Structures are given as structure tokens and as C-alpha cells.
Structure 1
């Protein structure tokens, strides 16, 4: 994984205005080695606990918009705080992590660093945080509006009707099927094989009407 280690003064460019000092306080207090990673398709961020004299390590994708970057960083900081209190005795996304993540979200919401629509979308996360980004469909839809560059003709899978034929980033073409929890069952046009695809996957519809 390619990553860039930024001096803390450079971290401010990745964060919403008004939260830098609060973030840095956590990084200093817990001696966090933070890296800004290139885009990863499977994760937005990652945490590795301190081990044999090494610091806690957190990585966050550098291609996220500022609000998504902060929320991802708080998600990983919650893992750090959970480890500090409980070590490896509790589940990774158990009630202990949920409580600490909720507390972090509340703290930063109170700093008024998020726009009102993101604050509203965060309410569900504060009450019951999801373990992964795929579990936060409504929040991610709101966050996407703040991306500096949205490719023309690209939208989210959850925003098109069932039956829509679409292409994903690797060039494969599917037809959208029914929702199964947070993922849609989609048929690959070329092979007929069924796949479950995240509701918040960016797609490019390639037909004006439902496929046949």
C-alpha cells in the first residue's frame, strides 16, 4: 500500500476548518503514527494497535473529502480508544467501540465543524454506529455531495431503479436486482452470474430504460 507520511502541520489541509487542534491533541496524547494513503477500494481507513514498542498506527485514504476524512479518522480513533481500555478482550465493533465512536462523533458535532445535512445524517451513526462504511448508506450519500469532483454520468447504485443496466469501475456490466440488506443482487450481463454489490457503489448507467 502506497502512503504518504505528512507532517502534522500538513494534516490541516485534509480536515474541516475548526477541528485541527482537537485532532492533533488525540494524536499526541496516544502517540499515533498517522499516514495518508492512496485510494483503497476495500477500506477507507485502518488501525493497528501499538505492539512491541511501536506506536499506534492509523491510515486514512487521502482522496476523501474533508468531512469523510474526519469521520473515517474518528472511526479509527475509536478503535484505538477501545484498545487502550480493553486491549483485545472485546469485539472490534462491539458495544464498547460503538460507545466510544459515538462519543467522538458527538464531540466533533458540538464543535460545529459539519454542515447541517451531515449532522442530521450522523444522528443514526451516533445512536447506533455501523461497523463499515457500507452500513452508512444515507450518510455516505450526503457526504458524496461534498466531493470536489464527481465524474459526469456517475451516480450511486442505490439511486437508480431496479432493472437498470450499469457499468462499474472495472468495466463489467450488470443489471440491478433486489436489495438484500445493504447490498443489491446484480446479474453480470456477460455471464449471467449473480453478485451482491454495495448500495453506495459508484456506477455509470448505460441504458435509459430497464434491461431486458
Structure 2
């Protein structure tokens, strides 16, 4: 297990993560990329617990996602299955599990202040924290995509599912875009990655 995990997480996080996995009897599956989620936790009827994490994540995002999912398991065991998936019990558990990893030996110094701010009140996905998400993405391999905040107003872009949009305006913190096929308006977070067609 250690040799496999070392491909996906920072080296100095290996021993504490292995300890967390063993202590909580985690069955970990590293899976192909899923567009809608970074990871997943499932409690089975037979009492086993399965966590999946996308193999495509960079090592810092992978580590956060793995701890995020372990926090679901720990909160489930401690508080039962009636709690909200990302409610106060999960947030408290995630904060406590993550704290020992927020060190310069594990995360780059430029990420630590953003992580400290994020973990004062962790959200269901680090992607909703645009500043942290953008900082984490700098450790991804080049994708050839653009962030929506980077492209000019009036640009035409597509998503991976083939839908085509035009960037129109900034509304508070999100970008208003029109889907060209039906004229409907959608709001995109600034860290959304898109395929630029025409600037």
C-alpha cells in the first residue's frame, strides 16, 4: 500500500495517512478521473467502508480529497448516518484530521495560508473556494484549457461535454455566460476550466 500511495501524495504525508487508513479500516480505490467529483465515500451494508479518489489529482489535491473522504467515514462512525453529509460534524472531523498535515514539510509554503483560511470553515469541495482551487491547480500538469476568469468577455468556449457558451459579464464573484444552443444563462466560478474556441 505504501508504495502505491507514494505515487499520489507528498512523501512526508505517507506514514500519517497509512496510520489513518489502517485505524479506520479504509478500503481505498484509486480510480480513473470523474468529472463530477474528486472522491467518494460509501458505507456498505456488510459494515465495510469504501473510499475512492481520482488518480488524476495532483498530490496535494489527492491528499486533501483522501482526508475529506476519511472524515466522512469517521463522522459516520462517531455520529451515525443521520448527520448532513457536509454538516458541522463532518466539518469538525475534517478540520481535526487535516490539522496535523498543515505543515511546510507536506504542503508548499504558498498553499499553507490559503489552507489555514479554508479550514476555518471547510466547504463540501475545495473547488468552491476559488482562490485555493486556483492555487492547487498550479501543481496540475498542463491541460491546454483556460480558466474562465482569464478569457475576454465575448469569448466563445466549450465544456468537455460539448456544450458551447459565450462569456457575458461578471456578477459579484461569478461569470455570467449564455449557452448558445438555447440562450439560457449560467453562472461559472472563476476557476472553471474551459476550452476556448474564439476570443
TM-score (ref. length: structure 1):
0.84
Of 191, 200, 211, the match for 2:182: 191
Of 20, 25, 40, the match for 2:34: 40
What TM-score results when the alignment is normalised by the length of structure 2? Answer: 0.89
Query: What do residues 102-160 of structure 1 show as CA deviations (whole Å, max 9, x unaligned)?
Result: 1222210137300011112212221110112332211110111101x2133x2212333
| 8 A Cα contact 2:30 2:53, kept in partner | yes
Tell me the residue number matched to 1:4: none
1:91 to 84, 97, 105: 84
Aligned Cα RMSD in Å?
2.1
Which of 171, 193, 196 is equivalent to 1:202?
193
Aligned partner of 1:73 in structure 2 is 66
Distance 1:41 1:180 in 2: 25
Aligned to 1:18: 12
1:29 corresponds in structure 2 to 23
Uncovered stretches (5+) of structure 1, i.e. residues with no partner: 1-6
Contact in 1 for aligned 2:104/2:112 (Cα 8 Å): no
Q: Residue 11 of structure 2 aligns to a residue in which SS?
A: coil
Residue 51 of structure 1, CA deviation? 3.1
Q: 1:107–1:50: structure 2 CA closer, same or farther, 3 Å change rule?
A: farther
From 157, 164, 171, the counterpart of 1:166: 157
The reply on whether 1:151 has 2:143 as its aligned counterpart is yes
Cα contact 2:9–2:62 (8 A) shared by 1: yes
- Say if 1:118 and 1:143, in contact at 8 Å, map to a contact too: yes
Alignment gaps of 5+ in structure 2? none
Which residue of structure 2 lines up, in the alignment, with residue 51 of structure 1?
Answer: 45
1:9 aligns with 2:13: no
User: CA distance change for structure 1 residues 180 and 57 in 2, over 3 Å: closer, same or farther?
Assistant: farther
Is the CA contact (8 Å cut-off) linking 1:165 and 1:175 kept in structure 2?
yes
Aligned residue for 1:142, secondary structure, equals helix
- Within 2, Cα distance between the matches of 1:22 and 1:57? 19
Number of residue pairs matched?
A: 199
**Contact 2:41–2:69 (CA<8 Å) still a contact in 1?**
yes
Cα separation, 2, equivalents of 1:168 and 1:88: 36
SS for the counterpart of 1:76 is helix
